[in-house]
Amino acid sequence: MRTLSSLALAALLVGFVAPALAQGTGNTSISVEQPWARATPAGATTGAVYMTLDNKSGTADRLTGASSDVADKLQIHEMKVENGVMKMREIAGGLPIPAGGSVVLKPGSYHVMLIGLKKPLTAGEKFPLTLTFEKAGNVSVTVPVQAMGATEDKGGGMGDMHDNQGGGMGHMEMK
């Protein structure tokens, strides 16, 4: 019971604090550039989303989570091949984005892993994704699905930014 009530309290706190953080002091902004995902094989229940996260602010931030309707669960992962062995790990504590710097999520490196896909991702489709940053709050983007063999966003453009609830700024706005 104690755990439950602390959880409830924490939830309550987060409920109040998170939106405040999201609106923040206006000194952080994360631009999400060229989000894309790979089409997934039939029957596959996992997928990966890639993008560039550009921190235009003077404050370091962190990608702490993500959500989307297309999958049950999303995690921030790092993948690497060491001595011919593929290793994939959730990044505990989120992915740091240095002040004034950028982090590229790409095949062979960081990705947002989609777990429990409700249906395969098909090339040409798009789906919504909300990223949660420690300081910049929530940033929602539309993710185009590229062919399975794609190695980068082939759309030639950026995901449409919309529903920008946090201090994050859309790519469009940065140009």
Partner 1 sequence: MPKRQIFLLALAAIAGFSGMVLCIAFLASSTGPSKDTRTGAIGGPFSLVDDTSVLVTESALAGKPYTIYFGYTYCPEVCPTTLLDLSRWIKELGTDADKLNYVFVTVDPERDTPQLMHAYLSSFDKRIRGFTGTPEQIAKIARQYRVSYKRIPTEDGGYVIDHSSIVYLMGPDGKLVSMIAYQENDASALAKLRNLVALTPSS
CB-nearer residue toward partner 1: 56 or 96: 96
Is residue 20 part of the contact set for partner 1 (CB under 8 A)? no
- Nearer to partner 1 by Cβ, of 1 and 92: the residue is 92
Ranges of H-type helices in the chain: 2-23, 171-174
**Position 29 contacts partner 1 (CB under 8 A):** no
Determine, following the binding rule CB under 8 A, whether residue 9 of this chain makes contact with partner 1: no
Q: Which stretch binds partner 1 (CB under 8 A): 7-15, 53-61, 96-104, 154-162?
A: 7-15
* Residue 40 in contact with partner 1, rule: CB under 8 A: yes
Binding positions for partner 1, 114-173, rule CB under 8 A? 114-115, 130, 132, 138, 148-149
Side chain identity at residue 24, one-letter code: G
Q: Indicate which single residue of 2, 5, 26, 42 sits in contact with partner 1 (rule: CB under 8 A).
A: 42
Tokens 């999303």 identify what position?
74
The token pair that represents 5 in the structure block: 């009530």
d(CA 36, CA 144): 5
Backbone angles phi, psi at 54, to 5 degrees: -110, 120
Q: Which of 24, 111, 129, 171 binds partner 1 (CB under 8 A)?
A: 111
Q: Name which of 49, 165, 47, 54 is nearest 116 in CA terms.
A: 47
* CA–CA distance, 46 with 17 (Å, rounded to integer): 32
Asked if 135 and 61 count as a contact pair (C-beta separation under 8 A), the reply is yes
Binding site for partner 1 (CB under 8 A): 7, 10-11, 14-15, 18, 38, 40-48, 64-65, 67, 73, 75, 79, 81-90, 92-94, 107-108, 111, 113-115, 130, 132, 138, 148-149
